Structures are given as C-alpha cells and as structure tokens.
Structure 1
Amino acid sequence: MMNEFEMLDMGLLYYFLGLEVHQSEDEIFLSQRKYARDLLIKFGLLNCKPAATLMNIGEKLQLNDGAEMDNARSFRSLVGGLIYLTHTRSDITFSVSVISRLCGFTDSDYAGSLDDRQSILAHVLTLGLGVVTWSSKKQATTTSSTSEIEYIASTLAACQAIWLRKMLAELQNKQRKCNRYIL
C-alpha cells in the first residue's frame, strides 16, 4: 500500500477513538478503560461508590416525573458517552438503553420533485442520541393526495421501526412501550 498511497508505518496500534488495543501473536484485546475513566472524570463521578447492580430492573421512568433536570445538555453528553462505552461493556447495555429510548420521525413532500412531480418520503429512527437508520427517496408510485403520501411515508417508517425492534430484541434489548406520537 505504501507504493500506491502516501503513508507512514507507525507500528502497532495502541489507542484509537477511545479504544485501547493490546496485540499479541494469537489475540487482539480491546478495552475502553481509559475512555471510561475519562468519562467518570468529565462528569465528576470518579469517586462514586461502585454498585453490584446498575439499576432496578423494575424501574419505570416517566418523561415528567416532577424532578427538574439540572443540565439536559450534560445528561445527553453522558448518555452519548455511555452508548459509545457499550462497544466493550455489554453489561451496561440494558441500563443505557432505558435512558436512551428509540424514537422515529417521518415526513413527506407531495409532488416535491420538480422534474417528474413524484412525492418524496423520508424517515429517521434514532436510538438515544444517535441516528440508527434513515431514508429519503422519491416515491415509486403516483399518489393523488397529500394524505395518501403521508400514509405511505408513515407505513414505510413503521415497517423500518418494526424491523429495528426485532433486531434489538434479538440483541436482548426489547422495547416495552411506545409513545403514541413516536413510531
């Protein structure tokens, strides 16, 4: 590759994007120990006591539970960091998934393409703070009303959400409840 591209051989990989890499002849070990420690330091949690269980499994969270959030931006940043940490710490996946629910958004533009007057459909599905899947495309069939294209867009987004739920269920991350305004 060095003959084709301008590059340097910097030796074995030790640290990349928060992943520590330990290599030997017969194995590669990935860790996020430094990343986890930096996350604890960033949010002032380094000296907290460890717990045997991450959270109460029967805990039911509410959007408006009467408690006011001190810093929503800091909370979202912490959740994003925890989501990234689940790459090597699968034991925290359930707890992180509880605080970062799956949401979906859909929209359509009736006869939005100026070239052929086809409608344009779009949807975005998120898990926590990250986009998991999205689509934006021209509708293959002609529709006769904005209501019809909205139904088609919603149906396609719902099919994608169902597929994603099944995929998450296979990974032991089943969604239990759905907000009626969100797919």
Structure 2
Amino acid sequence: MGSSHSTVAEFKSSMMSKFEMTDLDLLHYFLGLEVKQGEGEVFVSQKKYASDLLKRFGLVNCKSAATPMNMNEKLHQEDGTGQANARSFRSLVGDLIYLAHTCPDISILLVLFQGSVDDRKSTSGNVFSLGSGAITWSSKKQVTTTLSSSEAEYIATTTSACQCIWLRRILVDLN
C-alpha cells in the first residue's frame, strides 16, 4: 500500500525477485476482516466473520436484541445450570474475544455488563477515538473492591484520565 503506484509496483517486483511469492492483487479478506478498497478509501468490516460465527454455533435464526443480556442480572460462579461443553464453549469465547478486540463497538458492550457478585469488583472500560476511528479501548476488572458505585466510577474515570494523558503525550511526540 502506498501513495505512488509506480513505487508500489517497483517494491513488489523487487520482493518477487528475492522471494517466492504471488501477487494476489487487492486485499479482500484477511484474518476475519473483509476489506473493500475504492478510490481514496478503504472500508474494513467483520460482517462475514460474525455471520460465519453465528452459522457455526447454530445461532442464525436467534432473535436479536439491543442488549444481549439482562443488565440487572448478577453473575454467580454457581448458578445452578449444568456444565457446558468445554471445547465448544472455549471455541465460542475465543471467537467472541477476537471479534471484540478487533471491533470496538462490540467490546464496549462487554464493559457495560457491570461487575462480579462473587468478588464484588467492578469493571472499568473506555474507548478513545481519533477522527472517526477508535485508536484504543480497554475493559478490565478493577483491582480494588469498592464500597459504592460512585467510588467504582471514580476509579474508572481516573483510569481513563491516565490513558488520555498518555495518548496526548504520544500525539504531542508525533506532532
């Protein structure tokens, strides 16, 4: 990828003379990401990855919801349900983690499912964007057990402020 077609062609030619490789032309699909390239623009989507995930786990005809679970639900380690198929569960969780890490609008939903009833720790989360795209996002269980939701929000705000200061310093260094 480059701004000069002749430089890109020269680079590809040089690489092909030194390494065994094939020019597949424009990128269309890579690591679950669909890539559509137009004049002066690149659009990246995970629609196909998410669709394939739904098909693989038999969830294509499931009813969609704006919030995938009850926001007031309190999670417990022992909730009375039977044990899930461990292999299938790990596969689904791994795919969802990959999807969430490469698609910030999905990962922010994970931040909103509050904390754990078992250890009483809340979850902090933030997303920072530059222009129209997210450049960093985070979702972590807080190290401190808080006594109120206000205290948990204060910790989350402090963590976000530290990230903001770090990003600002990086941007200043990059001019």
Give TM-score scaled by structure 2 length. Answer: 0.54
Q: For 1:1-183, list aligned pairs within 5 A.
A: 1-96=15-110, 171-176=137-142
Q: Deviations over 1:22-56 (max 9, x none)?
A: 01121111111111111101111000011011333
**Matched positions, count:** 113
Identify, as 1 or 2, the structure richer in helix.
2
SS state at 2:91 partner: helix
Q: Which amino acid aligns with 1:49?
A: K
Q: How far apart, CA to CA, are the structure 1 residues paired with 2:139 and 2:72?
A: 15
Q: How far apart, CA to CA, are the structure 1 residues paired with 2:105 and 2:93?
A: 15
Q: Deviations over 1:46-75 (max 9, x none)?
A: 000110113333432111112112312211
SS state at 1:173 partner: strand
Q: How far apart, CA to CA, are the structure 2 residues paired with 1:32 and 1:7?
A: 27
Q: How far apart, CA to CA, are the structure 1 residues paired with 2:91 and 2:78?
A: 20
For the 8 Å contact 1:14–1:21, the answer to whether it is kept is yes
Gaps (5+ residues) in structure 2? 1-14, 117-122, 128-136, 145-175
* Number of the residue aligned with 1:149: none
For the 8 Å contact 1:20–1:32, the answer to whether it is kept is yes
Q: CA deviation at 1:91?
A: 2.7
Q: How far apart, CA to CA, are the structure 1 residues paired with 2:101 and 2:67?
A: 19
Question: What value does the CA root-mean-square deviation take over the aligned residues?
Answer: 2.9
Structure with the greater relative contact order (CA < 8 A, sep ≥ 6): 1 or 2? 1
The verdict on how the C-alpha distance between 1:79 and 1:96 changes in structure 2, with shifts beyond 3 A counting, is farther
Q: Which amino acid aligns with 1:32?
A: Q
* Number of the residue aligned with 1:107: none
The verdict on how the C-alpha distance between 1:66 and 1:176 changes in structure 2, with shifts beyond 3 A counting, is farther
> What is the percentage of aligned positions where both structures have the same residue?
55
For the 8 Å contact 1:22–1:29, the answer to whether it is kept is yes
Gaps (5+ residues) in structure 1? 102-164, 179-183
